[in-house]
Structure 1
Amino acid sequence: MKEFICNPIFGILISLIAFEIGFFIYAKTKLAIFNPLFISIILIITFLTKFNISLENYNKGAQFISFFLGPATVILAVPLYKKIKLLEENALPIIIGITSGSCIGITCIIFMCYLFKLDRPLNISMIPKSVTVPIGVEISKQLGGIPAVTVATIILTGIIGAIIGPFICKCFKIKNKVAIGIAIGTASHAVGTTKAIEIGETEGAMSGLSIGLTGLITVFIAPFIFKIFNTFL
């Protein structure tokens, strides 16, 4: 049994089983709170803690899943390609929306961290909360953050966005499909995009576009905004 736990297959198998259970629960309930990723995280943590299995043993296999996060994001270009004409017609509003959303998101998280007097490393680690894990981790490393905290923040942001994003759009009576997709994708990256795809093809395509552009914009403006806050606060 110990040999199996130390085998990379163990981490992959546990991850897949946990996600399938989470997906089954979500499919049965259709409640956003039962997001498959959220459920699988709880199940894996509970399992590892209950049986006293180290994170190192689990991560021997789980790291391979993490490796494919980047390439897997490319598949989101498929629905975008189908809506290329819509993208051309709304290019300027889309770019402005994603840029302003990214700037506001970064500014808000830095301001809140200063308001609650969090340590500088924690502050930096939370800045790339709205981009995908591969991009967010690199930004965090370059700025001097803690990658583990960054990953946790990104996952939490995505889950919360997927849960409350559609609800907020309904509350503010936002019905434009492009606007909904851009808002969800810019705020909650790939996890939110899975929800946007459920809402509609156009929403999913626009959300997928937002992931790439938000990541690119964050890479350039995050250090600049952080320096401004360091200067005046």
Structure 2
Amino acid sequence: MTMLGEALLQRLSATPLFAVALTLTAYLVAMALLKRLGRPPWLPAIVLATALLVGALVLTGMDYTTYQEGARWLTVLLGPATVALGMPLYQLLPRIRQLWRPLAVCLPISATMAIVYALGIAWLMGATPETIASLAAKSVTAPIAIGITEQIGGNVSLLLGALLVTGVAAIGFVSLAARQMNITDERIIGFALGVNGHALGTVRAFEIGPTAGAFASLGMSLTGTFTALLLPLAWRLVV
């Protein structure tokens, strides 16, 4: 029976459908657990889903390379999903136009600081050039960040880990800062989540409200565009 089960698992793991089904199942289970826990802001669904997925891979004996190959179909959907976030922006375009001046001022500063402090800390801790390059785009949404990292010579796997840590940390710190500074404006909170927490922050913003979600989408999109245009150029000039 054990041999039969192992043979069946090997046949299933050889198909992309198994990795996709495993990923979706982990996410749905995580959402159900979070609903029971009251959806705490410090615990995004993707973190719990990742932990469940790692446990499933360990239990099934499936190596990460095989899983990654199968789950590549889901990665392809990141691009269209990011583009789809333009719909909330269109719906709130009049409100966004009213704030274009402060947004235009704070975005370059915020996006630049997100890069500089990460690279500065990594450099002070003696990180290798590849590690530093892998952390440069950690505040940008994954489809754009992957392209930037490949262009400047970073490691995509390390980048993906940095994206997860950055998104989770941004959710916690933005929520804490909003509470401490008594900020209740969804536009400010949403924009901060989008600029600093990319897709994870945007998901959290939509849980707060549609206005926060729209401004998070704006912050994420503008940060991605700004970084994609200037980071590779600045990297060549400096490195």
Matched, 1:15 2:26: no
1:119 corresponds in structure 2 to: 128
Matched, 1:44 2:53: yes
In structure 1, C-alpha distance between the alignment counterparts of 2:233 and 2:120, rounded to whole Å: 14
| Residues 70-149 of structure 1 aligned to structure 2 (within 5 Å) | 70-149=79-158
1:28 maps to which of 30, 36, 39: 36
Contact 1:6 1:60 in 2 (8 A): no
The letter for the 1-side match of 2:124 is: L
1:185 corresponds in structure 2 to: 194
2:213 corresponds in structure 1 to: 204
- Structure 1: tracts of 5 or more residues without a match: none
- Structure 2: tracts of 5 or more residues without a match: 1-7
1:56 corresponds in structure 2 to: 65
Query: Deviation digits for residues 178-217 of structure 1, max 9, x if unmatched?
Result: 2211111000111101111111221111110111110111
In structure 2, C-alpha distance between the alignment counterparts of 1:170 and 1:229, rounded to whole Å: 38
2:74 corresponds in structure 1 to: 65
After TM superposition, the score normalised by the length of structure 1 is 0.93
2:168 corresponds in structure 1 to: 159
After TM superposition, the score normalised by the length of structure 2 is 0.90
1:171 corresponds in structure 2 to: 180
Query: Deviation digits for residues 139-178 of structure 1, max 9, x if unmatched?
Result: 1111111111111111221122223322221112223332
**Between the two proteins, what is the percent identity of the paired residues?**
25
Query: Deviation digits for residues 88-141 of structure 1, max 9, x if unmatched?
Result: 111111122222110111111111111111111001100101111111111111
Bigger Rg over Cα: 2
Query: Deviation digits for residues 41-61 of structure 1, max 9, x if unmatched?
Result: 111112212332112322233
2:4 corresponds in structure 1 to: none
The letter for the 2-side match of 1:7 is: T
In structure 2, C-alpha distance between the alignment counterparts of 1:25 and 1:109, rounded to whole Å: 33
In structure 1, C-alpha distance between the alignment counterparts of 2:29 and 2:139, rounded to whole Å: 26
Contact 1:25 1:34 in 2 (8 A): no
Structure 2 SS opposite 1:32 = coil
Contact 1:178 1:202 in 2 (8 A): yes
